[in-house]
A and B are shown apart, each in its own frame.
Chain A
Amino acid sequence: LAKTTQPISMDSYEGQEVNITCSHNNIATNDYITWYQQFPSQGPRFIIQGYKTKVTNEVASLFIPADRKSSTLSLPRVSLSDTAVYYCLVGAPAYYGGSQGNLIFGKGTKLSVKP
């Protein structure tokens, strides 16, 4: 499974756009990129997943360049409630031979949003 590298922490203010970049130089052809959010004393929560180019949902966008060696999670107009740890994960879905439940978490990026 590909290893990921993220900044340990980031600070932002309410209303700003936050971009968190993740490096995954050894990403494999069948690997997808997935981001999770975790609040203290709660389980991680799925945010977004992508394979290439750009993916957008109601809470975030994910930008993946052509070489797929990095990805950027973009959170538009953050609020205080977005203060959390954000994890970038890389792995193949079960239908590509990956392990469906074996997710490899790093230490994540601790995002602090200030008023």
Chain B
Amino acid sequence: ETGVTQSPTHLIKTRGQQVTLRCSSQSGHNTVSWYQQALGQGPQFIFQYYREEENGRGNFPPRFSGLQFPNYSSELNVNALELDDSALYLCASSLQQEAFFGQGTRLTVV
């Protein structure tokens, strides 16, 4: 149990739709990161938020956006969904160099 919770656990969307995924980070962790994990691959860094500001971004298009709230919870928004966006989306809150991951949201785009 990492103290990081994500919702929903599973989601099915249609191509072209928009989706919002949510993450409640571990208490006291002011940094949250989002990762995309395709089947059989390692997690790929999407972006990171520190004290409500984006603080680093991976190689993902602008239709991937995020928010971090004053209580350090976070959202990942994806617009204009594509079939290749189907993946496990992981949220992680960080303390020093150790990251605590949630169980992920399995997104399927059909």
Contacts and interface: CB of A to CB of B under 8 A. Distances in A.
Interface of A: 32, 34, 41-46, 49, 87, 91, 93-95, 98-108
B45 A42 contact: no
A24 B72 CA distance: 34
B31 A100 contact: yes
B72 to A, nearest CB: 12
Contacts of A107: 40-42
A87 B42 contact: yes
B104 A41 contact: yes
A102 B48 contact: yes
Given A49-B98, A99-B56, A43 B33 contact: no
Most chain A Cβ neighbours within 10 Å, of B32, B92, B106:
B92
A94 B97 contact: yes
23 contacts: A32-B97, A41-B104, A41-B106, A42-B104, A43-B90, A43-B101, A45-B2, A46-B100, A49-B98, A93-B96, A94-B31, A95-B96, A100-B31, A100-B48, A101-B48, A101-B55, A102-B48, A102-B56, A102-B58, A103-B35, A103-B45, A103-B92, A105-B35
B88 interface: yes
A42 B43 contact: no
Contacts of A87: 42
